[in-house]
Amino acid sequence: MNTSTITPPGKERLPLAAVIIAIFVVSWIGTVPQVMASWVGAKAVPGYIKLLQIFILAPGIVAVWAAWMNGGRAGLRQLLGRVVRWRAAWWIYAAVLLGPPAVVLASVLMSNALGFTALALPGPAKALATFAPTFLVYLLLNTEELAWRGYVLPRMQSRWSPLVAALVLGVIWTLFHMPYFFMKGGHPGGFTPLLFLLMLLPFSVLLTRTFNATAGSVLLPHLLHQSINSWGESLPFLPRFAHSLAPLTISVAILIVLSALVAVVRPPMWLKPA
């Protein structure tokens, strides 16, 4: 983890809280047409439907703006440099790329084995054909990690231990997605608010560990984040596909166990760096 070049809290031109609020406000503009369309029909908001793209683009845009305002060229260079920081041990890449499909697949299989569901899994070729374009879109357009792990997390870790920072950020990250729960019928993925929170808290811990284990790389957490997003939509895992909360609930249990394990490996995540 590298927080040595972060301006001490209280000395930045834009306080962290103000940047987080800006991320929320600008990003939520992109949820308005989708929430409206769910209640009154897509035809009622055709001129604003392009605003949907703002939700996934805004976090990174706000983070870039904040980095420039607080650190000028040096701050911007530091933030964007995290995106191309790709050097990491092979096992980290293996965990990032193979962990998400393993968790999603194990959740579906366990749900079937326990009798909660009887979901048919697509063949490898079909699953990969669905995964690849979805992953590519998320990889190119979703800028959340540039904001949450690239900008916000280092500043939180300059104040708190990695574990505390991860859990606080997990709550903020959950609240960031709250507009989708106001859609008619609830979240389009079928999440309940509680399960969504219980999923993002341990996932935030895993992303924080990935960030710290790669000397502050945004690329590796970004790959992990978008991989689990894409596999969740490529296999019958999300409640809207599975017509059951069982696979998601099992995955939450798996993520909690994994996050508990990484929280105690060296260096322990509850210790604030000197």
Nearest alpha-carbon partner for 205 in 124, 143, 129, 265: 265
pLDDT in the model for residue 117:
97
71 token code pair: 């650190």
Q: Which residues of 24-61 are buried (b: 16+ CB within 10 A; e: fewer)?
A: bebbbebbbbbbbbbeeeeeebeeeeeebebbbbbbbb
Query: Peptide bond preceding 188: is omega within 30 degrees of 0, i.e. cis?
Result: no
5 token code pair: 């070049």
pLDDT in the model for residue 6:
60
pLDDT in the model for residue 4:
47
Q: Residue 247 belongs to what H/E stretch?
A: helix 246-264
What is the DSSP code string of 22-90?
HHHHHHHGGGHHHHHHHHH-GGGSGGGGGGGGHHHHHHHHHHHHHHHHHHHHHHHHHHHHHHT-----H
SS3 content of the chain, % helix, strand, coil (to 5): 75, 0, 25
* pTM of the entire predicted model: 0.92
End-to-end CA distance of the chain: 12
Say how far residue 137 (Cα) sits from the centre of its chain: 15
pLDDT in the model for residue 5:
56
Separation CA 41–CA 205 (nearest Å): 38
203 token code pair: 């996932």
How would you write the pLDDT of the chain (274 residues) with one tens digit per residue? 555 456 665 578 999 999 999 999 999 988 887 788 888 876 655 555 556 678 889 999 999 999 999 999 999 999 999 999 999 999 999 999 999 999 999 999 999 999 999 999 999 999 999 999 999 999 999 999 999 999 999 999 999 999 999 999 999 999 999 999 998 889 989 999 999 999 999 999 999 999 999 999 999 999 999 999 999 999 999 999 999 999 999 999 999 999 999 988 877 898 876 5
pLDDT in the model for residue 219:
98
pLDDT in the model for residue 271:
85
Residue 6 contacts residue 158 (beta carbons within 8 Å): yes
Q: Domain limits of the chain?
A: 16-264
Separation CA 61–CA 25 (nearest Å): 12
SS3 193: helix
